[in-house]
Amino acid sequence: MTAIKALDSTEQPTGYHLPPLPYPFDALEPFLDSETMWFHHDGHHQAYVDQLNKVIAPYPQLHNLTIEDLLRRLDEVPEDIRLAVRDQGGGHANHQFLWKVIGSPRNTQPQGRLLEALNDEFGSLTLFQEQFTKLALKHLGSGWVFLVINPENNKLEIMALANNDSVLLHKRVGLLICDVWEHAYYLKYQNRHAEYLKAFWNIVDWEVVSARLDNFYAGKQQL
């Protein structure tokens, strides 16, 4: 891995930006309401991007890295901001990942290689969903639950990470992500955690999740 280089005088630092939500705020109704989605995307996600930009502002050599590279190369980030970059950058990366794998409820199903892998690893889609939900229920508070593939053995794993930790820091490739921070559901579900997690399965876009596994096997980079 090459060292992070300072930009030369002709390069303009870009920093990080909030990508627009890839669907309208009310697209996930009735499972997630537009107010929750607006606060979540325009409020919480924007705040992570703003904080990240603030933290890296004195270090122009970090301004042109993709968020994936910034997290993968965290050990090269100056020590005084490393923790903040892990937290704010992880928040940005995890939310960006989340918006991609959820979408309007249209009853998609895992396909092809993903369906086979879920059956091989967990027994069935239903058994996988039960295990994932069980772990998510234990982990509610501030954190995320993921379906990942481990590139060392090509096996699927369910992984729970606290705060804004990213699977990129654990050498895994994320296929699916669920936000279990209270801000993800509290306006609609309050303390009815199980109801939120049950509703979550209705907005998972399994076509995207299946494509992510195919992309992994095709060697394509993806957040």
Q: Toward Fe ion, which CB reaches closer, 43 or 78?
A: 43
Q: How far is the CB of 90 from Fe ion (least distance, A)?
A: 11
Rounded to a whole number of angstroms, the minimum distance from the CB of residue 48 to Fe ion is 9
Strand ordering across the sheet containing 173-179 = 155-162, 143-150, 173-179
**Touching Fe ion, residues 184-213 (CB under 5 A):** 184
Give least dist CB 164 to Fe ion, A. Answer: 9
Specify the 3-state DSSP secondary structure of 66: coil
Confirm or reject binding of residue 165 to Fe ion (CB under 5 A): no
* Number of shown-chain residues binding Fe ion (CB under 5 A): 3
Q: For residues 170 and 90, is the Cβ–Cβ distance under 8 A?
A: no
Q: Which of residues 27-86 bind Fe ion (CB under 5 A)?
A: none
Q: Which is nearer to Fe ion, 85 or 118 (CB)?
A: 85
Contact region for Fe ion (CB under 5 A) — 53-61, 103-111, 167-175, 183-191? 183-191
Residue 42 has what DSSP assignment?
I
Span interacting with Fe ion, options 66-74, 126-134, 181-189, 211-219, rule CB under 5 A? 181-189
The C-alpha atoms of residue 136 and residue 124 are separated, in whole angstroms, by 18
Minimum distance of Fe ion from residue 35's CB (angstroms) = 14
Cβ burial of 9 (10 Å; 0-12, 13-18, 19+) is: exposed
Interface stretch with Fe ion, choices 13-21, 147-155, 182-190, 192-200 (CB under 5 A): 182-190
Among 179, 189, 199, 216, binds Fe ion (CB under 5 A): 179
Least separation, in Å, of the C-beta of 148 and Fe ion?
18
Q: How many residues does the chain have?
A: 223
Cβ proximity of 86 and 164 under 8 Å: yes
Alpha helices in the chain (DSSP H): 34-38, 46-56, 67-72, 79-101, 112-122, 125-139, 186-189, 193-203, 206-217
- Chain residues in the site for Fe ion (CB under 5 A): 179, 181, 184
